């Protein structure tokens, strides 16, 4: 088999992996929104949320201060804000013109500790993503809105590689439509690609309800084990 044939087979295998990867970006984003909205509905409301901006709380020095002056009390994103950020993210991904491989290689130079073969593999992987991304977008149709959408076609591997290109646009748009700070929006978005976040099993679940049920069952088992009476044997010696 010629070198070109081997390279072509390798690219086809990588493209197949990207197209078959589950769950899709759209599913993961919606899972994140469902998780955050669920947490918002079950949390205890803050003083500001219950009584408004004019509410007073007891400060550290014993004086009454405005609830809005409590720097440590950050009001979580509400369901509408969560949905707006999710929408901005999905729209930006689907509208994005991916940077071509040559420009990408220039703007993402080889790392100091990155080996030559590792660098070649990295560029090769990006080329495959670039091809799959553009072929997907070329399938866009007015009759079928699901066709040509990156978020309905590709998964986590692509998002991890492409997110640095779109993050600034997503954050800027989200700040504009929610009036939240850049830090708040970035914190929310960081949960999507975090590999050690407490909700990663829900966010990247292929079946969200099944993952939610599994977590509930595990928590029930832990609670039962914690409440189970201990048997103590006392020696008569």
Q: Hey, which of 36-40, 101-105, 142-146 has the most confident mean pLDDT?
A: 101-105
Q: How far apart, in whole angstroms, are the C-alpha atoms of residue 173 and residue 182?
A: 10
Work out the average pLDDT over 95-103: 95
Residues found in the chain:
237
Question: Is residue 14, in this structure, part of any structural domain at all?
Answer: yes
Give the rounded percent of residues in the chain with a pLDDT score beyond 70.
79
Total tally of structural domains belonging to the chain: 1
Q: How far apart, in whole angstroms, are the C-alpha atoms of residue 87 and residue 150?
A: 14
pLDDT in tens, 28-68: 999 999 999 998 887 655 555 556 666 665 566 666 666 55
Work out the average pLDDT over 6-23: 91
**The token pair that represents 40 in the structure block:** 């918002």
pLDDT of 7: 76
Question: Is residue 50, in this structure, part of any structural domain at all?
Answer: no
Q: Residue 224 pLDDT > 90, yes or no?
A: no
Question: Is residue 96, in this structure, part of any structural domain at all?
Answer: yes
Q: 71 falls in which pLDDT band (50, 70, 90)?
A: very low
**Which range of residues forms the domain containing residue 143?**
3-25+84-193
Question: Is residue 210, in this structure, part of any structural domain at all?
Answer: no
- Please calculate the CA angle 77-81-82 and round it to the nearest 5 degrees: 75
Question: Is residue 112, in this structure, part of any structural domain at all?
Answer: yes
Q: Residue 143 pLDDT > 60, yes or no?
A: yes
Question: Is residue 223, in this structure, part of any structural domain at all?
Answer: no
- Please provide the average confidence, as pLDDT, over all residues in the chain: 86
Question: Is residue 177, in this structure, part of any structural domain at all?
Answer: yes
Question: Is residue 140, in this structure, part of any structural domain at all?
Answer: yes
């Amino acid at each position: 088999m010629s070198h070109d044939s081997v390279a072509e087979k390798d690219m086809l295998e990588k493209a197949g992996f990207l197209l078959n990867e589950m769950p899709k970006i759209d599913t993961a984003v919606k899972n994140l929104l469902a998780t955050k909205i669920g947490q918002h509905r079950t949390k205890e409301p803050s003083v500001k949320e219950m009584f408004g901006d004019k509410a007073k709380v007891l400060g550290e020095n014993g004086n009454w201060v405005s609830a809005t002056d409590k720097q440590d009390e950050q009001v979580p994103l509400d369901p509408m804000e969560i949905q707006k950020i999710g929408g901005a993210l999905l729209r930006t991904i689907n509208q994005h013109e991916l940077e071509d491989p040559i420009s990408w290689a220039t703007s993402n130079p080889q790392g100091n500790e990155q080996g030559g073969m590792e660098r070649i593999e990295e560029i090769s992987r990006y080329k495959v993503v670039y091809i799959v991304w553009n072929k997907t977008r070329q399938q866009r149709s007015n009759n079928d809105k699901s066709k040509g959408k990156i978020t309905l076609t590709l998964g986590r591997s692509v998002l991890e590689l492409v997110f640095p290109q779109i993050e600034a646009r997503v954050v800027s748009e989200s700040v504009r439509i929610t009036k939240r700070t850049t830090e708040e929006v970035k914190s929310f978005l960081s949960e999507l690609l975090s590999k050690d976040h407490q909700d990663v099993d829900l966010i990247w679940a292929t079946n969200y309800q099944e993952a939610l049920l599994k977590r509930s069952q595990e928590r029930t088992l832990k609670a039962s084990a914690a409440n189970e009476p201990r048997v103590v044997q006392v020696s008569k010696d």
